[in-house]
Structure 1
Amino acid sequence: MNQYLSFKGQIFILGLMFGVLSSAYSQQEFGGDLKVKAAPVKKKEVKEAKIKEVKFSNEDFNKIKSYEVQGLDKNEYKVPEKEDYDAEKLAKRDQDLGVVKTGSGTAKVRYRDAAYVDGDKVRVYLNYVIIEPEVLLSGEDQGFDITLQKGLNRIDFEAINEGFAAPNTADFKIYDDKGEVISSNQWNIAQGFKATIILEKE
């Protein structure tokens, strides 16, 4: 038994000594400390892109045709003159309110101040004859009835003044003998100018 333990003890001591010697040899081999170095990253070469230079000769440019739109009408639009936007200049001219055709035997004409009541006055003509020498426009409808003659019946509204706020303005409507509106419009005229509408009886 003692011999068996003695033999095992000898093996243990030999193994212990071998381990110590191996550890010492390993430290000397790797410089004392074990260090792991990462493998260097290989860099890929980036090739520069080649830019191709395109050259045109004069002959090439002569072959290029301009783009043309076919089938369009010529643009004849003209920019309006400044005075077309000038309310004061527009008011200083006679105003044509158009021609209205009707089969009615009579017409009822009604008008009132278009904005706020500011003292606008008008003189009314029927076929160049004064039928209302002076009318003060109010906020309520007022007017007259006429019997239409066959053919043209001309009505003129002449601005006697412009009230407190220029120009002379009014809304008006004309009704036929059935009470239907056949004309609805507005005039904006300076003092001394006329707004004219013609009723044509068919």
Structure 2
Amino acid sequence: MKKIVLFVIILVMSLNGYSQDEFKSKFKAIPAKNSKIKKVIPPKVIAPKVTPPDVVKAAVDDFINPEAIFLNSNLYKKESNSSGIFYRRNQFLGSFKTKSFTSTIRYKDAAYVDGDKIRVYLNDKIIEPEVVLDGAFKGFKIALVDGVNKIDFEALNEGFASPNTAEFQVYDDKGIAISASQWNVGTGYKATIILVKE
């Protein structure tokens, strides 16, 4: 037993002899070299010039009768007479004149993303059979024909929260906004916008 205690004492003393002396009062830190500290100037950040396009404010309703559009029961679901439910109807989003040869249509879910699906028609022909609305804009470009170009957005469902809501934007071929709005329609109903190419 005495041998073990003696061994431990010798071991502790030897380790103490090899330890560093930097925490004793005799220790002096090496002073830092006097150097001129240059102030770092961050580079100038130049933000890109993103100006939203001017929206054409005046809709052209003098040659389009909104009620006459929805009279064709083969193309449009009849309005529901449910009291208090405003979205069980077709929605007219306006008619606009343009000299553009093409138009870009963009859309996204206007509320929170809840699985809303739409079908898109151009002059009563399906151009997008099923689109799931996300939180980011997506869309397509169409070639405009002379005269009336009718674009219908049909609600295929209402997602988890009624009604089918979407925000949409329509641009001409120069990137100028023709229209920007929202629709709120029930399943089977359509939101319609008309572009008249002059």
Aligned-pair identity in percent equals 62
Distance in 2 (CA, whole Å) between partners of 1:144 and 1:153 is 15
Is 1:142 matched with 2:138? yes
What corresponds to 1:151 in structure 2?
Answer: 147
What letter matches 1:120 in structure 2?
D
2:190 pairs with one of 172, 194, 202: 194
Listed one character per residue, the Cα deviations across residues 100-157 of structure 1 (whole Å, up to 9, x for unaligned) are: 1111111000000001000000000000000111000000101110011110000000
Distance in 1 (CA, whole Å) between partners of 2:178 and 2:92 is 16
What corresponds to 1:113 in structure 2?
Answer: 109
SS of aligned partner of 2:86:
helix
What letter matches 2:135 in structure 1?
G
Give the paired residue count: 118
1:98 pairs with one of 83, 94, 99: 94
CA RMSD of aligned residues (A): 1.6
Structure 1 length normalisation: TM-score?
A: 0.57
Q: How does 1:151-170 map to 2 (within 5 A)?
A: 151-170=147-166
Structure 1 gaps of 5+ residues are: 1-82
Task: Give the CA deviation at 1:169.
Answer: 0.2
Task: Give the CA deviation at 1:180.
Answer: 0.7
- Point out 4+ residue stretches in structure 1 off by more than 6 angstroms: none
Structure 2 gaps of 5+ residues are: 1-80
Listed one character per residue, the Cα deviations across residues 12-55 of structure 1 (whole Å, up to 9, x for unaligned) are: xxxxxxxxxxxxxxxxxxxxxxxxxxxxxxxxxxxxxxxxxxxx
Answer 1 or 2: which has greater helix percent: 1
Task: Give the CA deviation at 1:90.
Answer: 1.5
Radius of gyration: which is bigger?
A: 1
SS of aligned partner of 1:93:
coil
Distance in 2 (CA, whole Å) between partners of 1:96 and 1:201 is 18
Distance in 1 (CA, whole Å) between partners of 2:192 and 2:178 is 15
Distance in 2 (CA, whole Å) between partners of 1:131 and 1:90 is 28
